[in-house]
Amino acid sequence: MGVYDYHHDSGRSDRPGGVPVAEHVQETQTISPYKAYVEVIADFSADGRMKPLRLIWEDGRKYDVDRILRVDRCASLKAGGAGIRYVCRIQGQPVELYYEENGFWFVSRKVPKP
């Protein structure tokens, strides 16, 4: 008995072209110009809860999360996509930070990316 390795497919793959699970590529759907994927540094508690501590923007700027105001499962109507929404206070402003099921973090842009 042991733990099943979800990243090891024993040579079989249901994906076209035999792409291994470990080589996950972001969806090929058109990404909303309001969706900004960001890097997040998070802390994990012993009971499995995730707490974002710092957000790193696309250009490398770093923002510390001052406080987490609310956590819920929600969809982003502006940017598209769904997941766990963390309503955070960053530099005194409320920011909605989303964690998608695929392991990516994103925020909604105020101004769409050209």
- On whether residue 99 sits in a domain, the answer given is yes
- On whether residue 98 sits in a domain, the answer given is yes
Give residue-wise pLDDT tens across range 44-53.
999 989 999 9
- On whether residue 79 sits in a domain, the answer given is yes
- On whether residue 7 sits in a domain, the answer given is no
Report yes or no: 37 and 57 within 8 Å, Cβ to Cβ: no
Give residue-wise pLDDT tens across range 46-75.
998 999 999 999 899 999 999 999 999 988
HSE-up of 86 (CA within 13 Å, CB side)? 23
- On whether residue 92 sits in a domain, the answer given is yes
Res. 30 pLDDT band, cuts 50 70 90: low
The residues, ordered by sequence, that sit 6+ positions from 32 with a Cβ below 8 Å of its Cβ are 78, 79, 80, 81
- On whether residue 45 sits in a domain, the answer given is yes
| Residue span of the structural domain in which 42 resides | 31-108
Closest by CA position to 80, among listed 30, 44, 39: 30
Q: What is the pTM of this model?
A: 0.68
- Give the number of domains in the chain: 1
Report yes or no: 106 and 98 within 8 Å, Cβ to Cβ: yes
